[in-house]
Amino acid sequence: MENMMGKKFMISGMVIEIVSDDGDRWETRNITTKETICMNKIVLQNAIKLAKAEEVTE
């Protein structure tokens, strides 16, 4: 998959920004709450394919 660093996505009612790549996981930041979330890459990729997540452009 292409470089996802810095990209923002809307998923499950929250906007997350990918801040680092950790092998099979991404470290993301919830923009609203400023919390750090580690997310399995496959979860986000599948959500994008199923239109449950979409990229936020500015």
Which pLDDT belongs to residue 35? Answer: 95
Q: Pick 8-56's CATH classification: 2.30.30, 3.40.50, 2.60.40, 1.10.10.
A: 2.30.30
Which pLDDT belongs to residue 34? Answer: 92
DSSP category for residue 57 = -
Q: Please write the tens of the pLDDT for every residue from 3-57.
A: 889 999 999 889 999 999 988 999 999 998 999 999 999 998 999 999 999 999 8
What are φ and ψ of residue 33, in 5° steps?
-100, -5
Domain boundaries, the chain: 8-56
Structure tokens at 11: 């998923």
Structure tokens at 29: 């930041």
Amino acid at 26: W
| pTM of the entire predicted model | 0.82
Structure tokens at 37: 């979330």
